[in-house]
Amino acid sequence: MHKNSFLSEAIMEEVIYEDLPSNLCAIRDYIEERETEKPLEKFNHDEFREASVSSSMKDSSVYYDGQAAQNSDSSSLHSPRQRPKVPGLQRDIEVLKAELLAFISEHGQEGFMPMRKQLRKHGRVDIEKAITRMGGFR
């Protein structure tokens, strides 16, 4: 037991190394689901904001190209990095292996584990997090 603490070391380790990461994963999953369910609401909000900015800019006799700003916003919302979520990636080692092999065949060198930098560069932070959750890079 720690000094001035009623919690045993085993309970502290369980909370820090098991409960906290799983809760953070659950929060991330919830946020990702909400983002995939309601991308149009965000787009409509951005479109409204651009329209109000362009009208206020025209009122002050300053030229504003609202169409160019709208086009750049719409392209950033539908970026190629947004992909469907892989079910079981965080919990099933076989799913992780399959995703890793697919990533290596597409972006890597056969027989070599991709580095974190490569995974991030190609927008596969989900694979990086799954590897970390299942033991990490060594």
Give residue 95's domain range: 84-138
- Ranking 23-27, 30-34, 54-58, 123-127 by mean pLDDT, the lowest is 54-58
Does residue 94 belong to any structural domain of this protein?
yes
How large is the C-alpha radius of gyration of the chain?
A: 22
Identify the three-state secondary structure at position 16. Answer: helix
pTM for this one? Answer: 0.42
Asked if residue 74 belongs to a domain, the reply is no
pLDDT confidence bin for 12, thresholds 50/70/90: confident
Please indicate whether residue 88 or residue 82 has the higher confidence score (pLDDT): 88
- CB burial class (10 A; 0-12, 13-18, 19+) of residue 98? middle
Cα separations in angstroms, 118 against 29, 76, 85, 93, 131: 23, 21, 19, 20, 14
Into how many domains does the chain fold?
Answer: 1
CB 84 within 8 A of CB 91: no
Q: What is the pLDDT of residue 42?
A: 52
In-domain check, residue 36 = no
